[in-house]
Amino acid sequence: MYIDLQSCHPGFPPARTRKKIDVSENLVRVTICDGATRTILARKGASLLDTLQRAGATVTAACGGRGRCKKCGVTIAGTGTRLACRHALVRDTKVALPRPARATILVDGPSRWRGGGAANALRSGRFTPARPGVESRFGLAIDIGTTTVVVYLEDLNTAGTRAIESFVNPQSVYGHDVVARIHHCMERRSGLRDLRECLIATVNESVDAMCRGTGVKRREIREAAIVGNPTMLHLFLGVNPASIAIAPYKPAFTAFRATPAGRSGLRMNRRGVVHVLPSVSGYVGADITAGIACTALVRSKALCLYLDIGTNGEMAVGNKDGLWCCASAAGPAFEGASIGSGVGGVEGAIYSFDNGRYRTIGGAKPLGICGSGIVDIVAWLLDKGIVDRAGYMETRFVVENGARTATRRNIAVTPQDIRQIQLAKAALAAGISILLKTAGLVIDDIETLFLAGAFGAFINVKNAVAIGMIPRPLQDRVVSLGNAAGTGARSAVRSRKFEASVERIAAMAQYVELSGREDFNEEFVGGLGF
């Protein structure tokens, strides 16, 4: 049997190089069951994970397919559960994918979670009907996070939000953190295109959904403001981010960029303009500058610390007289990716734990442990002496027996998980210490600690202090901002004055590079203990 490969699989060469190939010798059929059932062709010897990604299937691969996270498990007919990244295709294969969990995404302030589920990108929406008799001018505000994306439809006449859509960043199938995605760009000829196209396509699905829900026409959307970390901004614009991962970690751009809408790929008025807000460095992006602009940090004499905890702990300290910022590589522990039973902020995630009792997002059967939950559990284990101050834990602690979990597997915290938390919180502590030292400050000088993002909004501050993640003197000075980056994007698309303030913040910020500093290693080691 012979077949034209290009018509069956997007990974094959263009028409001028096509050959008739014997399917029986070179190809295998892969039947994918993920709610629907479809069959594709793949080369013998290809990685099952690569094949599923090329087919547009959603498979969790937090480590980027390097076999470390153990989260890309799929069920192969006749074989059982296997890691997709470690399974080479040698024969026709039928594979069943786990049902994706419903995402729970912070789109506003600390109490505003959105949940939903649809196809390969988990999504939620909220709509406000149109006002008749007013000439329509609309804008998009897009917060592109490494883990989640939120899209806002803003009424530029009334400065009101007409619709919100949120979804899990579809790039997650190529790796949980920015480094894994940069490596995908570096290692695959199609890597940059893979990452950009899946993001733009899913954003456009959200734009279409908002337009249908509100009656807004795409031609009425004339402006867009984009925030995100520098890697996400590079991928959005189709700029290779490889230089961010290589010393001296310089991005291709940090300055404000205005792009014609027709070239952006967004479904909006082609004559409109897309504004990508400015970053500071390769690891401090527009999500931080826009978030800081939502506070009084650079307008006040009071000294404040701004902290956004994710796979990187981006932070800034200062006041109207000066601003210093850095990014500390906390790793994915606080987002669940490097924790054995870890999950993101999805339905069924254990987000709160106290004295053996836990609560899950949505009240669903427990699926795993998210960031705020792991902080609570570690603090409890320390209090009970199950984990000592050096981080030693004799054996794993079972949070819930498999008979009562959604996966039918035990949800547990292991000694390896404790080590991951130690590394993550030590990196944060070292970053804070060096940032203060560089600014000529001590912790008691700080009057307010701003916590941005979903993790900051729902973390138990007392427990975060107990494990050494937040400095104890700041325990009673914490202000949770919620999704400050999203708020900043919305303010920027509504106001040129606010947009200019974001540019001023980026310009005044002094970036402190932590890599290679001897004092970082010293502070890091000193911060490992609980």
Domain CATH for 256? 3.30.420.480
| Domain-located, residue 250 | yes
Query: What Rg do the C-alpha atoms of the chain give, in angstroms?
Result: 23
Count Cα atoms within 13 angstroms, Cβ side, for 74. 28
Q: Given 250, 283, 316, which residue is the final one in a domain?
A: 283
Q: Does 474 fall in a domain?
A: no
What is the reported pTM?
0.82
pLDDT tens, residue by residue, 69-109:
777 888 888 888 888 888 989 889 998 888 766 666 666 65
Q: Check the CA dihedral 299-224-166-329 and report its sign.
A: negative
| Longest Cα–Cα distance in the chain | 76
Q: Which residues make Cβ contacts (< 8 Å) with residue 364, sequence separation at least 6?
A: 347, 348, 406
- Euclidean distance between CA atoms 410 and 413, whole angstroms: 10
> Are 189 and 229 in the same domain?
yes
What residues contact residue 497 under an 8 Å CB cut-off, 6+ apart? none
The answer to the question of residue 14 being in a domain is: yes
Same domain as 83, residue 10: yes
> Which domain-ending residue is among 283, 306, 325?
283
Answer whether the bond into residue 248 is a cis peptide, omega within 30°: yes
pLDDT tens digits for range 506-520: 999 999 999 888 899
* Partner residues linked to 297 by β-bridges: none
Residue 75 lies in a domain: yes
Task: Tell me, yes or no, whether 274 and 225 share the same domain.
Answer: yes
Query: Residue 216's closest CA among 165, 268, 262?
Result: 268
Which of 436 and 180 is assigned the larger pLDDT?
436
Regarding whether 198 and 169 lie in a shared domain, the answer is yes
* Whether 35 and 152 share a structural domain: no
Question: In terms of domains, do 266 and 242 share one?
Answer: yes
Residue 43 shares a structural domain with residue 115: no
Which of the 8 DSSP states describes residue 90? -
Q: Cα(282)–Cα(34) distance, rounded to whole angstroms?
A: 37
Residues 175 and 259 reside in one and the same domain: yes
Instruction: Convert the pLDDT of each residue in 467-507 to its tens digit.
Output: 999 999 999 999 999 899 999 999 999 999 999 999 999 99
Count of Cβ atoms closer than 10 Å to residue 354 Cβ: 13
| CA 319 from centre of chain | 28
Query: In this structure, is residue 363 part of a structural domain?
Result: no
Quick one: 107 and 229 in the same domain? yes
Q: Which residue is associated with the tokens 């390769």?
A: 282
Q: Which of 96, 127, 158 is the last residue of a domain?
A: 96
Let me know the angle formed at the C-alpha of 45 by 40 and 50, rounded to the nearest 5 degrees. 55
What's 131's DSSP letter?
P
Q: If 0-12 CB within 10 Å is exposed, 13-18 middle and 19+ buried, where does residue 368 land?
A: buried
Q: Residue 233 and residue 259: Cα distance in Å, rounded?
A: 12
Domain extent at residue 242: 103-283
The answer to whether 228 and 278 have CB atoms below 8 angstroms apart is no
DSSP 466: H
Q: Is residue 259 part of a domain?
A: yes
Average pLDDT score over residue span 388-408: 94
Q: What percent of the chain has pLDDT over 90?
A: 61
CA–CA distance, 80 with 73 (Å, rounded to integer)? 10
**Do the domain assignments include residue 478?**
no
If we measure between CA atoms, which residue out of 98, 97, 129, 124 comes closest to residue 32?
97
**Closest by Cα among 438, 449, 440 to 472:** 449
Region of 118 on the Ramachandran plot (φ > 0 left; ψ -120 to 50 alpha; else beta)? beta
Worst-scoring range by mean pLDDT, 337-341, 347-351, 400-404, 426-430? 337-341
Whether residues 153 and 233 share a domain: the answer is yes
* 432 membership: H or E segment, kind and range: helix 415-439
Among 435-444, 447-456, 490-499, the minimum mean pLDDT is found in 447-456
Do 234 and 92 fall into the same domain? no
Q: Any idea what the CATH number is for the domain that residue 36 is in?
A: 3.10.20.30
* 64 and 141 fall within a common domain: no
- Exposure string of 440-472, with b = 16+ CB inside 10 Å and e = fewer, is ebeeeebebbbbbbbbbbbbbbebbbbbbbbbe
Domain membership of residue 173 (yes or no) is: yes
Give alpha helix (H) positions in 300-414. Answer: 371-383
Give the chain's domain count. 2
Q: What is the pLDDT of residue 454?
A: 75
Cα(148)–Cα(168) distance, integer angstroms: 4
Q: Predicted confidence band at 24 (pLDDT cuts at 50, 70, 90)?
A: low
231-259 residue pLDDT tens: 999 999 999 999 999 988 999 999 999 99
